[in-house]
Amino acid sequence: MRLRSVEELMDLLYACRGVRDPTAHGGPGVDLHDHALQTAALLRRSRPADKELQLTGLVHPVGRLLSPGDAAPRPQRVADAVRPLLGPRVSRLVSLHPWHGATPDDDLLSLRQADEDGRVPGADAGVLEDWRTVLELIAARTSRLGAVD
């Protein structure tokens, strides 16, 4: 699947609501929609100018919906799906999360920390619509730069 519009991506992110990411200790896990919002919000606070990194945090959990029935999320599937819309940097960061064999740089360390900290049940991290404008800006820039496959 390749996401071609912000609307498609928003629908996928909304579909994460109610989908749980199981924890290592067998707990109920975190709601993927909440996790996406929390991770992105934490990155917005720690790296306010880096919109692509923030969006990486927002979209990284959608692997469970792109690969239903797969026990583990598939970062490369997410990376391939978002590349036409969000460009090569977001795609690369998603594919390396949680740094599959890569040497962690500041971006990956920030993403990993936000991913770990963004698993608080019930934490208020805003609403998905708050991210629409940022998604549209990055998608428009990606389209202008010809990064669409």
Task: Please state the φ and ψ torsions of residue 30, each to the nearest 5 degrees.
Answer: -110, 145
**Is the per-residue pLDDT at 97 higher than 50?**
yes
- Flag whether 1 is in a domain: no
Q: In the Cβ-directed half-sphere of 57, how many Cα atoms lie within 13 Å? A: 35
- Count of domains in the chain? 1
Q: Is 46 within 8 Å of 134 (Cβ atoms)?
A: no
- Flag whether 97 is in a domain: yes
pLDDT value, residue 103: 72
The confidence band for 27, taking pLDDT boundaries of 50, 70 and 90, is low
**Is the per-residue pLDDT at 35 higher than 60?**
yes
Q: Is 118 within 8 Å of 33 (Cβ atoms)?
A: no
CATH number of domain containing 137: 1.10.3210.10
- Flag whether 122 is in a domain: yes
- Flag whether 40 is in a domain: yes
State which residues form the domain around 98. 6-145
Q: Is 99 within 8 Å of 112 (Cβ atoms)?
A: yes
pTM of structure: 0.89
- Flag whether 80 is in a domain: yes
- Flag whether 89 is in a domain: yes
Q: What are 118-147's pLDDT values in tens digits?
A: 999 889 999 999 999 999 999 999 999 875
- Flag whether 136 is in a domain: yes
